[in-house]
Amino acid sequence: MDKIIMKLPVLLIFLSALIACSSEDAADSSTAVLPTTLGSGIIRANFDDTIAPGDDFYRYVNGSWLSDTPIPSDKSNYGAFTALSDEAEANLRIIIENAAGLGAPEGSETQKVGSFFSSFMDEDLVNTIGAEPLQATLAEIAEVSSKDEMLLKMAELNHISVQMPVGVYIDVDAMQSDQYISYLSQWGLGLPDRDWYLSEDDQTHEEARAAYQSYIETALMLAGYERASEAADSVLAIEFLIAEQHWDRVKNRQEELTYNKVTLDDLNSLSPDMDWGSYMEVLGISETTYVIRQPSYIEGLNRIWNDTSLQQWQDYSSFKYVDSLAAYLSDNFVQAQFEFEGRTLGGLEEMRPRWKRGVGVVDSALGEVVGSLYVDEYFQEEAKARMDVLVENLRRAFQVGINELEWMTDATKGQAQEKLAKFNTKIGYPEEWKDYSGLSADPLDLVGNMLRSRRLEHNRELEKLGSPINRAEWFMTPYTVNAYYNPPMNEIVFPAAILQPPFFNVDADDAVNYGGIGAVIGHEFSHGFDDQGRKYDGEGNLRDWWTEEDVEAFTARASALVDQYEQFEVLPGKFLNGEFTLGENIGDLSGLAVAYKAYQMSLNGRVAPVIDGLTGDQRFFMGWAQVWARLYRDENLESRITSDPHSHSEARTNGIVRNFDLWYETFDVQPGDALYLAPDERVKIW
């Protein structure tokens, strides 16, 4: 998932995705897109033949496109993923606008889609209403007379997805994968990461803090908040204290550290001055066992709770409520939020057109309704059948790869094979669609529609507690250009929209498809065996199934990859964090390795044909490189460094191929070339 600001929903699931997508990634269909692939499936027009493959393979394959393509003014980055998102978004617009004009029966799914969209597109009505939808709740917050009462009000806000210091969500119990449990996680920050508050000598972060404070004041002033300036000071002061207690992004990736099962009594012992039993009751959670992801944060929050006045918590909660709804209010709210989130943090030149934001509203509320319509209209079942074959080919290649590992003992190999055999695969779209019968939609009540949707989704999650695991559930819509691995369910998922060129082309030769979608499949398989995914067994339980010898061998290889990636300078003086991006880098490295093995197996001993003057091996590596063509604004890169566990596209291309002996042979890469690594420095894990 490239996010400008990570805003944890009240109840959600953590996934290992191929990419991270921001709200700015849905692109304008009128902007430049990647050319249609022909012949071999390699986009030769994108090449820059003035660059040697061994010096910069990423720009050798994509250089002309990178130099000739502008970033659309309403986007923070643009590339192969966003080009496909453009197309999906344009298709959704047709589906949604048709629904809005049908006059469907009240209560039907079509009526709900149309009403949600119409309520957003009626800009005159939204502007006329202004800040009125906020007033009742802001008044309730202002009337709170004690901290105990304030905590319950914050739980009510948490119930409707308003960001609070603690996020609560339902997920599979990582150590007992046949049941659900409630998780508590650090939350509460409006900037991308704790470092944006705590860094003292970073001008970009300092400017972002100033812009954030200005936005807080403006948003509260527009809402009619009497002490907007003082409140902005309160909000920022609380967030500084919260940031000091947040675990850093590397520690927060450690699965065994972030699994801490506690009782309600344990939770109250960690934070004795906050009534967690009442908090959970307001959220609708009656169970008294939870998993705390960051126990020391909960302890620190108790101190913050005591040291911060009731008025400051009222200021904080009031702003968070306004901010959570600003996108659905009058233009002055929308513009204020855009100036901070879009322009300051994302570097955007202009706001996305209203119709795009309207499509986003329907997506957030009725994603699987429009998803089913999208599948009916635009998905080719042939692609699903081809993917079934590719996935099984990749699985067989991974099986062979495990057996061939020189560094792993037979005992661990056996358990790795057991886990691989138990991987569940989902392709295209859900077999069961979500039920939205409990949601009502009013074409004249945008904010009400959004709040009703949030409550419905909250209650949908609550119903999981005490229920069997729903293994049919999807956590991405079919029109999402992405893929993911879900450790507690040991499943890999490929939505329909990614099954298109340049990732997957039914008319292209196998080399390009294995270098594209094959490596994507391999990436998701590999997440089950990356530095964190390897800690889960085939049943999805967090369990140590490795010998000590194998852990040491794995760690040595992973550490070498960390060192390599920390050499990538993303912006002047700012480098990738190799520990933070390690899981995704392992996914890329091992995913491409297993994809190549699967490609070779598919040839059945035949020599790959030369197509368009390119050998099969050349097409394979080029197929990998061309899917990562991507342009970034500096502001977007700045945010990614601290909030996105994926490396940027240059590193995802160059950082991977330089570890493959075959790549050196295929493109005659020699010592002295910029990407050259000595053979003993090249990393192979899976």
Q: What is the pLDDT of residues 153-171, one digit of tens each?
A: 999 999 999 999 999 999 9
Secondary structure string (H, E, C) spanning 128-196: HHCCHHHHHHHHHHHCCCCHHHHHHHHHHHHHCCCCCCEEEEEEEECCEEEEEEEEEEECCCCCCCCHH
Q: Which residues pair with 16 in a beta bridge?
A: 485
The answer to whether the CB of 625 falls within 8 A of the CB of 58 is yes
Q: What pLDDT does 39 receive?
A: 67
Q: What is the pLDDT of residues 635-674, one digit of tens each?
A: 999 999 999 999 999 999 999 999 999 999 999 999 999 9
Q: What pLDDT does 189 receive?
A: 98
Q: What pLDDT does 1 receive?
A: 33
Q: State percent of the chain over pLDDT 90.
A: 90
Terminal alpha carbon distance of the chain:
24
Selected residue with higher pLDDT from 97 and 3:
97
For residues 484-504, average pLDDT = 94
Q: What pLDDT does 20 receive?
A: 47
Neighbours of 429 (CB within 10 A): 20
Q: Which residues pair with 167 in a beta bridge?
A: 185
2-11, 413-422, 511-520, 537-546: the lowest-pLDDT one: 2-11
The answer to whether the CB of 628 falls within 8 A of the CB of 58 is yes
Residue 611 has pLDDT above 90, yes or no: yes
Q: What is the pLDDT of residues 624-634, one digit of tens each?
A: 999 999 999 99
Calpha distance 71→630 (Å, rounded): 9
Q: What is the pLDDT of residues 386-417, one digit of tens each?
A: 889 999 999 999 999 999 999 999 999 999 99
Residue 259 has pLDDT above 50, yes or no: yes
Pairing status of strand 484-486 against strand 574-575: unpaired
pTM summary value: 0.93
The answer to whether the CB of 509 falls within 8 A of the CB of 386 is no
Q: What is the pLDDT of residues 178-195, one digit of tens each?
A: 999 999 999 999 999 999
Q: What pLDDT does 244 receive?
A: 98
For residues 510-518, average pLDDT = 94
If you write DSSP's letter for every residue of 293-359 in order, what string do you get?
A: S-HHHHHHHHHHHHHS-HHHHHHHHHHHHHHHHGGGS-HHHHHHHIIIIIIITT--SSPPPHHHHHH
At residue 171, φ and ψ (nearest 5 deg) are -150, 170
Structure-token match 């009626």, residue found: 122
Residue 378 has pLDDT above 50, yes or no: yes
Q: What is the pLDDT of residues 179-238, one digit of tens each?
A: 999 999 999 999 999 999 999 899 999 999 999 999 999 999 999 999 999 999 999 999
Q: What is the pLDDT of residues 10-51, one digit of tens each?
A: 343 346 777 644 333 433 333 333 333 446 899 999 999 999
Residue 323 has pLDDT above 70, yes or no: yes
Structural domains in the chain, sorted by start: 39-69+380-428+504-626+648-681 (3.40.390.10), 145-310 (1.10.1380.10)
Cα angle 88, 94, 99 (rounded to 5 degrees) comes to 125
Q: What is the pLDDT of residues 43-71, one digit of tens each?
A: 999 999 999 999 999 999 999 999 999 99
For residues 127-145, average pLDDT = 98
- Sequence-distant (≥ 6) Cβ neighbours of residue 659 within 8 angstroms: 564, 589, 677, 682, 683, 684
Q: What pLDDT does 506 receive?
A: 79
Q: What pLDDT does 29 receive?
A: 32
Q: State percent of the chain over pLDDT 70.
A: 95
